[in-house]
Structure 1
Amino acid sequence: SIFAVLLAVTFASCAQVEDPCKTKSRVVADDKYCDKYWECDNGQSIQYDCPNGLVFAGKHRGVTEGCDYPWRSNYCEYPKVQINPPIGTEHCDWLYGIFGHETSCTRYWTCWNGTATEQLCIGGLLYNENAHSCDWPENVDGCQKHPLCNDDPNGNVPLGKSCNRYWQCQGGYPRLQRCPAMLVFDRRSLRCVVPPTEECDVPTTTAPPPEEENQQDLRQGQQHKRPNGEYQDQGRQRQQSRN
């Protein structure tokens, strides 16, 4: 019967890898394909596919179902390969992954099951496609000049509505700066001046001490999504391999 043939093929393939039913984790990696793995199910070794774009990392590891991004570690080293072809959607080369933006060096896409979410690099950073994360501009090929510094590679740029913080461009790379105590940033002269200005009054308090400022920056940073774009997806079921 067809079922008997499929079962024979499954056991023949499984014979090349460690029997997951004889391991403590009940799950083992495939010996040829890094985006497949074997799991013991009711006493039988069954092959499964990782979600499209991910590779097997180990039980209770990775971003979902024991699978992770292939660039995270040595999950997919030669001679192992990804056998499943990419399934692309808008902005996503694979259903799961982190990908560069088509028109912006400061933005990127995190893709989860084919749904793309636009992310923004903060703090003067640019998206580095080799590192799959936000990085200093000097480390990003093809985006050497940050958009903030297009007008003047060595000038100052206002930071939103802030009265004491601003961007200082250094060779096209922005660095976050703060005006000295009791001074404010003037949007017309693009430098720190004695207040008041059209936008800023005389400060009522001095700048917070460095340790307090660091705590404020930390709290603000926690409001942003992490650059690596990790999520959890508990509702999606595993996809059993058809190969």
Structure 2
Amino acid sequence: MLTGLLFTLLAYVASADQCIGKSNGVYEVGCRSYVVCHNQRGVIHNCPDPPATNTVFNSRTKTCDQPSNVPAPCGEWRDCTGKTDKRYPDLFNNCKSYYTCHGGVYFGHNFCSPGVVFDESMQNCNWPQNVAPPCGTWGTGRRRR
């Protein structure tokens, strides 16, 4: 129940401003969700869309799809069984994205804004000089701010 409530709350917060300044259409929110914008208002949809299971958003088809049909990072499914509830960096993507595990459930990949990387210790995206390796350069001669 908590997982469903968390997902609903995140969807509400995300839909509040996802469509401001955008044309009508379908836009990726994260690898497991997308927003349908109409007249600057949005409705969040989450993958999987029944009856499919374990699907991710395919930005080419604008639908939920099997991970094998979607390029990385979204097509890279993660097993969250036994993992601590938190966000994890996508090391193969130079930490420009991350994925979330909660209650053993994989909640998909999300992207950092251009120029920043995922900071696992802070659980958010941050400037590379403020993030410890392997995602950033902090401690390699540069000071953390």
Normalised by the size of structure 1, how large is the TM-score? 0.24
Query: Relative contact order (alpha carbons < 8 A, sep ≥ 6): 1 or 2 greater?
Result: 2
Q: Normalized per residue, which structure has more strand?
A: 2
Rg (Cα) greater in structure: 1
